[in-house]
Structure 1
Amino acid sequence: MAILQALTQLDFTSWLLLVPALAVAAHVALWLADPHGIRSYPGPLLAHFSDLWLGYIAAQGHRSEVVHDLHKKHGKFVRIAPNHLSISDPDALQVVYGHGTGTLKADFYDAFVSIQRGLFNTRSRSEHARKRKIVSHIFSQKSVLEFEPHVRLYIKQLIQQWDRLCEAGARGESGDDGEGGWRGRSGRVWLDCLPWYNYLAFDIIGDLAFGAPFGMITAARDAAPVALNHKQAMASYGKEKTDVQYLSAVEVINNRGTFSASLGVLPPWMRPLAKMLPWYSQGQEAVKQLAGIAVAAVAQRLTTPTDRVDLLGKLQEGRDDDGNLMGKEELTAEALTQLIAGSDTTSNSSCAITYFLAKYPDTQRKLQQELDEALGSDDEAVPTFDQVKRLTYLQAVIDEALRIHSTSGIGLPRVVPEGGLTVCGRTFPAGTVLSVPTYTIHRDAEVWGKDTEEFRPERWFEQDKNAVQKTYNPFSFGPRSCVGRNLASMELLIILASILRRYDFVLEDPDKPFETVEGFLRKPVECVVGIKRRNL
């Protein structure tokens, strides 16, 4: 009682001093108690006491690189938060993420929920199994082949745009089609290829997920309709037109990813406080806007029914073990998951691969020789998946680019289940958070050789296949791995085969590093290249 009375008599200034002091004392007490037995592991000093260190690093946009440097300094185990250990060992992948180990997604994923939990951010094992059962058949190899004509259609539209710009560039003309514009010089058209790959990826996934493209390629502009009132739009699905505004879809996805990835590493009790800060409040707006893109697109599709084969149609037909269909909110949440997973990832990867091929002209010529020999005199602008799926050097180029530039580079956090877990000879109690950073294991010199930072597709014909198989992790691993892997692989094979057979690329500045920024995904900042038509 005496303590309570003393507290009630404190003035405002005293409270301002007392609250931080109590917070520091609580963090120190937790460090001394060491409930998960990880106090002895090395890492940044602040990370031993508070999640704020990782929150700050995530918000700066280079988490993977920072954690990688820590592993180079400290070794296999690095403490990156009071209850989070990063493990840079390929052997840890199967234990931390594999089938039958019982690990669960950490509360990090709560920061990615908007409409309702989807396949990506649900943490319940039973709910995830239910959702995956409904969704997984949609991305079987057989189902994916049904989407191929839609994929090829939009690649052809991109080629038509680039052919037009190449002709104008060869005449020395310049213009403002696309973000950043374009200019003709030295017989080439010079442009930032990243926006164009964004247009392509969004039009493809818009068509597949919602039955209609966003129209970005033909408009040469990044704009997507966003529902102004989510509840009203979902209530009127299939009945009336939805009120929308047009926003940059790429900017919305980027802002949402940065916000959620930095908010998710903070403890749940701290998140409401963080959301009061201006930077986080802007991120919350991006979360709502991104959900609004899905709501508007689903509303448009359901207002104009069709019998065409696409992702949304298959989701509408999907049933769980009890024979239940998805409700409106769940359907929209899963469509949103497909929008995110199928847009940013494809465009980022296509841009990175183009950069590396432009940087290494000998590799580009070797790939073009394989494409010329395989496709022969076929003058079709866009080859079929069947024509390119067995091209070994093309696959090696894609694999090598995704090794160096995995769109997901961070260590995805998993919670140790009851009974504990032994990883790389160390046992951790229930509740400990573990992760394996893809960015770092993709640079493991024991697996990939000493030249891990060099783009060299030939290594894929030289390395130990077993070591590579257990280390290469661009689509994650285990029961929570990327369900759309087959679709992503098909898209990249056809996109790269089409583009590289038709065009020759050079970098505007070969010495300029490939700059990236990281939210949840690692994204290129730009890639300015000179393009000209090849003589086939």
Structure 2
Amino acid sequence: MQSLSTLVLAALLITSVLFYLHRYILSLYTFPHIPSARLARLSPLWLTLQARRHRRYAAVHDLHSRLGPLVLIAPNHVSIAASEAIGVVYGHRGGWVKSDFYDAFVSVRRGLFNTRDRAEHTRKRKYVSHVFSAKSISEFEPFIRANLRLFVEKWNALCNTTSDGAAHGEGSGSSCSSKQTKIKPETAAKGWTVIDCLPWFNYLAFDIIGDLAFGAPFGMLEKGRDEARIESLDGKAATTSPAVDILNRRGEASATLGCMIWLKPWAHWLPDPFFRSGTQAVKDLSGIAVARVNKRLAEVNEKDGDVSGRQDLLARLMEAKDENGEKLGREELTAEAATQLIAGSDTTSNTSCAGLYWICRTDGVLERMQRELDEALTNCKGDSQSNQDRADINIPTFEQVKDLPFLRAVINENLRIHSTASIGLARIVPPSGATILDTYFPPGTVLSVPTYTIHHSPAIWNPDNDPAFSPDVFNPDRWAPKRMTKLQKESFIPFSQGPRACVGRNVAEMELFLIFATVCALFNVVGLEGGDGKGELETREGFLRKPVRNVVGIKKRK
């Protein structure tokens, strides 16, 4: 038996060596002229390690800076940092599908985000497109503004308390919570209240998506902490856990396992506790969606199936039918609701937090925003059709701010410099093959276009070599119509492009317009801490690139 075990282990070792040696030789034969990261031709381990270190986007960007627009980052995965590749890899033509990287994100069952089959994606997209129709989006605004109103109430309450100089916002339960930070004495004397705004943007984003996707906020703003109910699929076991922390751990572990997808079934037994924590987070995130969907369905059943009283995302999903007139089953409904929770929560909070970092640390930007908002809202008392507005909290409407040019420029510049999804989104070359940058890629090759690198390309964003418009500089003026080039417009991909682009883009933009307009119109903000020591926002990467903290001083505007 001992000899047999030795033979089995030796066979497994030899098989593994031959497998990776075969991939190495195949890579050399297929892409002999494409430079690669160290050992990337031999194994996807290099890319996996970068993801585990929360710096995949930065490592790939560094490779492109040194080696050029084509870089091999795994034996069969080429990263292409060129605007010409965007329309080919992510466009509507050619039959490109997502790679097995997305299998790492499947939990209850496949949703719109991680479905790889084209026919199945088309079916799901029809459901969800109905949810995000123009009429539906207009009906979402009251829910967004109601949560913004509570957000402002909480910040007003913080401003009304006497600050001891310590940053409010710790203890959120998030892995990205703030360190204890002391404000400078001269700043405190002027009446600034110090907060880490990251937890507050987390509470706001989760409450908004809870309101839209599940029929009620999570209550994080009201409680001032990160907490959500978790249930099993049978609805019997129930606990509470920090949702933001769960989402962070899930994203980090899944994005790492996606680089070596065969590791996923064994993740719980890997010696690194990072993977055990991440796989548990995947289950917990599903449990949050299960709990909220169960609660909503129970309420609907009490009304004999009537969902017409509240026009939100979940109501639209419950009403949706396929071409055969069939509605979503409970599991699929839960999976799609979970997809909306994931796509609409930390994306919004991260972008809001990063935006405020750049706004209050870039000379003149906040003042210009406030002048534009003051002029637009001079005679505004909030939504005149709502009786919920308090006299001291006037939340702008989307109609009042959606066409403000400088506000849009700030939001676009924030989406460029802080690309929430900074990594290249992997796609498989279809049977017809593909030629990009005079290089032929055979069917089955995995290609991706790194968003961060495209958004920070000097050739695209600073062709005149003007230091004021360096791609690493936050400068909303680069979005002035007279400055924008066709190449820049085509290379701006914060929501991706083509049939797999973000279906909720319009809702996301509405949220960002309302959040930035509200915060900047009602508060003065000064940046204190949150950088990495080099003038950049300190971030941590999972599937998304997330701020670690953003400590600011806030003061109510008169």
**What are the equivalent positions in structure 2 for 1:79-228 lying under 5 Å apart?**
79-169=72-162, 179=172, 185-186=188-189, 187-227=191-231
Equivalent position to 2:46, from 36, 53, 59 = 53
Q: How many residues align?
A: 517
- In the superposition, the TM-score normalised over structure 2's length comes to 0.88
Matched, 1:251 2:271: no
Task: Give the CA deviation at 1:12.
Answer: 5.6
**Could you say what secondary structure the match of 2:360 adopts?**
helix
**Could you say what secondary structure the match of 2:291 adopts?**
helix
- Name the CA shift for 1:319/1:182 in 2 (closer, same or farther; >3 Å): farther
Task: Give the CA deviation at 1:377.
Answer: 3.6
For 2:28 and 2:59, the matched residues in 1 are separated by 26
1:362 corresponding residue in structure 2: 364
- In the superposition, the TM-score normalised over structure 1's length comes to 0.92
For 1:176 and 1:441, the matched residues in 2 are separated by 34
2:388 corresponding residue in structure 1: none
Amino acid at match of 2:284: Q
2:399 corresponding residue in structure 1: 386
Task: Give the CA deviation at 1:13.
Answer: 6.3
For 2:297 and 2:530, the matched residues in 1 are separated by 48
**Are the aligned partners of 1:36 and 1:428 in contact in 2 as well (CA < 8 Å)?**
no
For 1:143 and 1:194, the matched residues in 2 are separated by 29
For 1:175 and 1:9, the matched residues in 2 are separated by 61
Equivalent position to 1:521, from 544, 550, 557 = 544
Amino acid at match of 2:244: V
Deviates more, 1:109-118 or 1:371-380: 371-380
**Are the aligned partners of 1:182 and 1:189 in contact in 2 as well (CA < 8 Å)?**
no
Matched, 1:458 2:453: no
- Cα deviations by residue, 1:81-131 (Å, 9 ceiling, x for unpaired): 000000000110000010012111101111110001110000010000000
Equivalent position to 1:294, from 289, 293, 297 = 289
For 1:484 and 1:85, the matched residues in 2 are separated by 28
**Are the aligned partners of 1:168 and 1:174 in contact in 2 as well (CA < 8 Å)?**
no
Q: Which runs of 5+ in 2 are unaligned?
A: 173-177, 301-306, 383-393
- Cα deviations by residue, 1:391-426 (Å, 9 ceiling, x for unpaired): 010000010011011110110100011121112221
Task: Give the CA deviation at 1:18.
Answer: 6.1
2:452 corresponding residue in structure 1: 439
Matched, 1:490 2:510: yes
Deviates more, 1:63-72 or 1:376-385: 376-385
Amino acid at match of 1:48: R
**Are the aligned partners of 1:36 and 1:432 in contact in 2 as well (CA < 8 Å)?**
no
1:422 corresponding residue in structure 2: 435
Equivalent position to 2:524, from 496, 504, 518 = 504
Amino acid at match of 2:260: L
**What are the equivalent positions in structure 2 for 1:318-329 lying under 5 Å apart?**
318-329=320-331
Task: Give the CA deviation at 1:11.
Answer: 6.8
Matched, 1:479 2:499: yes
Task: Give the CA deviation at 1:533.
Answer: 1.1
**Are the aligned partners of 2:167 and 2:194 in contact in 1 as well (CA < 8 Å)?**
no
- Name the CA shift for 1:160/1:59 in 2 (closer, same or farther; >3 Å): same
Amino acid at match of 1:515: E
CA RMSD of aligned residues (A): 2.1
- Cα deviations by residue, 1:323-344 (Å, 9 ceiling, x for unpaired): 1111110000000000000101
**Are the aligned partners of 2:320 and 2:328 in contact in 1 as well (CA < 8 Å)?**
yes
Task: Give the CA deviation at 1:322.
Answer: 1.5
Deviates more, 1:109-118 or 1:175-184: 175-184
For 1:52 and 1:274, the matched residues in 2 are separated by 15
Q: Which runs of 5+ in 1 are unaligned?
A: 1-7, 234-241
1:265 corresponding residue in structure 2: 259
2:461 corresponding residue in structure 1: 448
